């Protein structure tokens, strides 16, 4: 009786292994939503008519059972995380299912600048711009976070700040 139980258990084990291999292959084959904007794409206008887009005054974020209203003026920066964007304020951070491109189009142009492929920064919340390594810059923000700036992002930031 024991050899029969062992044989059945081994067959079940093989079926489970095969099942998980198939699931893993399906997951790897399905496209994941990723914010794949290149530096060149950031400078190109979208097909959307930007003249009719009203800048956001607040962002609504769901957090469990709570719905939070974040004023745009309280936001320090945005960080891309796949198909999501993490929103940082001075004290709290939130996760929103949206792209960086959306926020870049819908936030006030005078206040926010894309300094890196993954970062959109509120210029009012910048405390310091430091030289980092040879030709890289590092932003220090009001919440204490430090962000590396890309070369083209630094160029856009200088234009925005009039440096």
* Residue at 88 is within a domain: yes
Q: What pLDDT score does 88 carry?
A: 92
- What is the domain count for the chain? 1
Q: What pLDDT score does 54 carry?
A: 76
What is the helix (H) or strand (E) element at residue 87, kind and residue range?
A: strand 84-89
Q: What pLDDT score does 77 carry?
A: 92
Distances (CA, A) of 72 to 22, 123, 136: 44, 12, 28
Mean pLDDT across the chain: 82
Long-range contacts made by residues 40-43, C-beta under 8 angstroms, separation at least 24? 42/104, 42/114, 42/117, 42/152, 43/152
pLDDT at 2 over 90: no
Residue 66 structural domain = 55-161
* Residue at 41 is within a domain: no
Write the pLDDT tens digit of every residue in 43-96. Answer: 555 555 545 677 788 889 888 888 989 898 899 999 998 889 999 998 889 998
* Residue at 69 is within a domain: yes
Percent of the chain with pLDDT over 90: 12
Report the CATH number that the domain containing residue 121 is assigned in CATH. Answer: 2.40.50.1020
């Amino acid at each position: 009786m024991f050899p029969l139980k062992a044989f059945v258990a081994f067959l079940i084990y093989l079926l489970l292994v095969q099942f998980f291999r198939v699931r893993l292959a399906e997951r790897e084959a399905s496209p994941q939503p990723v914010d794949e904007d290149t530096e060149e794409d950031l400078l190109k206008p979208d097909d959307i008519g930007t003249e009719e887009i009203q800048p956001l005054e607040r962002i609504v974020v769901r957090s469990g059972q709570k719905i939070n209203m974040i004023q745009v003026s309280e936001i320090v920066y945005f960080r891309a995380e796949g198909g999501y964007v993490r929103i940082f304020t001075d004290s709290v951070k939130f996760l929103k299912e949206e792209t960086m491109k959306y926020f870049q189009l819908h936030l006030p142009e005078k206040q926010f600048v894309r300094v890196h492929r993954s970062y959109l920064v509120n210029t009012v919340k910048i405390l310091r711009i430091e030289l980092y390594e040879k030709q890289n810059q590092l932003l220090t923000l009001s919440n204490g976070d430090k962000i590396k700036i890309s070369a083209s992002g630094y160029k856009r930031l200088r234009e925005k700040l009039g440096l």
